[in-house]
Structure 1
Amino acid sequence: MYKEIDHPCVQHKLSLLRHFETDYKKFRELTTEITTLMCYEALKNLNTDNITIKTPIAEADCQIISDEVVVTPILRAGLGMLDGVLNIIPTARVGFLGMYRDEETAQPVPYYQNIPDQSSVGLNIIIDPMLATGGSMISAIDSLKKIGATNVIVICIVTCKEGISSVLDAHGNIKIYTASIDSHLNEKKYIVPGLGDAGDRLYGTY
């Protein structure tokens, strides 16, 4: 399953994010803001418990999130989305998956993994601004499932049909949330029109 989040606030900020004149400071800020807004939709099915609390006036029946959540950015660009998720779920634990793309084969090359124990986790969120070929995301989902993850969602800012199809062909039960499904991948396997290199634009390494 995949969902394109077309909320006007998300789309406005995405337009600014795409612009080639947006500097790395503003790019980081927009990435955080877009991620936070997307979380409202992506996390609407979190499980809750009913509780009763006492206000200054009277008792009130309320709800609190009961799921333990782990958010795992794919390094390095995924780090740019981390604060956006933690703004919504500050109690989430954080895992890390390090991968880079072999520019000749366009295949992911893992180099680091540190993910919290899955014994009590209710939801895993994998974050990466760009879901292009799907190779890195498939590898990330594989890594989580190997250590016991059962409920995994993906939040990305920009993707394309090719990337969505690849991920869902490999992991049909995954839910993908994105701000945009772009036109296609070019011959270098970059998303068109895309964002450019999200990692470089986040950290000013261009």
Structure 2
Amino acid sequence: MSLHQVHVSQHPLVAHKLSLLRDKSVAPKQVRELVDELSMLLLTEATASLSLKDVGKVSAACPLQEYNAVGLKERVGLVPVLRSGLGMVNAGLSLLPMARVYHLGMYREKLTLQPVEYYNKLPEERDVDICIVLDPMIATGGTSVATVSALKDWGADQIQFVCICASQDGLAQLAAAHPDVVVHVGAIDNEIDANGYVMPGIGDSGDRLYNTPYL
């Protein structure tokens, strides 16, 4: 994958909190808290590329003197991939309360490990300038490729992908299909097992978030 398109966080808190998240003994409540905190850190890095526009002079709200106000230029859409991406939405809305949230549901078929879309809540017309896909994990890359393809079919031309952990193979698959997509990731792991799980990874993030049985 083109290195300039993949940004691996160097923040020590990301490394620390990801290390905690890898521990399988962590309770679901703490899993949700760690995913939220990691999402906040990674989204802060991802949104550093957003641009600003002048809003105009403000006088009444300033304690000392008027100032030139600025606001975000781009309209942002958050796209959590169901279901595990839902664990990252609150962090996104905390940073971007004006963002629109669009849901895409994907599951990985157990035998082929291929993605199957089962839910798509994108409106008929694109009404945002940039889409930020939220998914804690990129494993085989199939789901991430399918998600970005769906957004491009919808008309999105600026897409970022924010994930907590990814495999090298999954990132390579995403880059081959969509070399223009910028990825912000907490860590890159080397291996995928026969069931399509990243090793060491963080396990099945959806099951861990919502306290359902997992490996």
TM-score, normalization by structure 1: 0.96
Taking the aligned partners of 1:158 and 1:111, their CA distance within structure 2 comes to: 24
Match of 1:19 in 2: 23
Q: Which runs of 5+ in 2 are unaligned?
A: none
Taking the aligned partners of 2:33 and 2:11, their CA distance within structure 1 comes to: 18
Which letter does structure 1 place at the counterpart of 2:49?
N
Deviations 1:163-203 (A, max 9, x none): 11000100010001100001211222210000111010000
Correspondence 1:169-180 to 2 at 5 A: 169-180=176-187
Which letter does structure 2 place at the counterpart of 1:23?
A
Report the secondary structure of 1:121's partner residue: coil
Instruction: Tell me how far 1:62 sits from its aligned partner.
Output: 3.2
Match of 1:93 in 2: 100
Match of 2:33 in 1: 29
Instruction: Tell me how far 1:79 sits from its aligned partner.
Output: 0.5
Instruction: Tell me how far 1:44 sits from its aligned partner.
Output: 0.7
User: Within the alignment, does 1:8 sit opposite 2:21 as a pair?
Assistant: no
Contact 1:73 1:127 in 2 (8 A): yes
Corresponding residue to 2:155 among 148, 151, 169: 148
Instruction: Tell me how far 1:147 sits from its aligned partner.
Output: 1.1
The 1:119/1:113 distance shift into structure 2, 3 A limit, reads closer
Q: Which runs of 5+ in 1 are unaligned?
A: none
The 1:125/1:108 distance shift into structure 2, 3 A limit, reads same
TM-score, normalization by structure 2: 0.93
Corresponding residue to 1:137 among 144, 149, 152: 144
Instruction: Tell me how far 1:134 sits from its aligned partner.
Output: 0.7
CA RMSD across the alignment: 1.1
Match of 1:46 in 2: 50
Contact 1:118 1:149 in 2 (8 A): no
Corresponding residue to 1:69 among 70, 76, 90: 76
- Report how many aligned residue pairs link the two structures: 206
Correspondence 1:167-206 to 2 at 5 A: 167-206=174-213
Instruction: Tell me how far 1:82 sits from its aligned partner.
Output: 0.8
Deviations 1:59-111 (A, max 9, x none): 11232112111001110011011111111101100101111111111101111
Contact 2:126 2:154 in 1 (8 A): no
Corresponding residue to 2:88 among 81, 84, 89: 81
Identity of aligned residues (%): 37
Taking the aligned partners of 2:192 and 2:172, their CA distance within structure 1 comes to: 13
Taking the aligned partners of 1:117 and 1:67, their CA distance within structure 2 comes to: 20
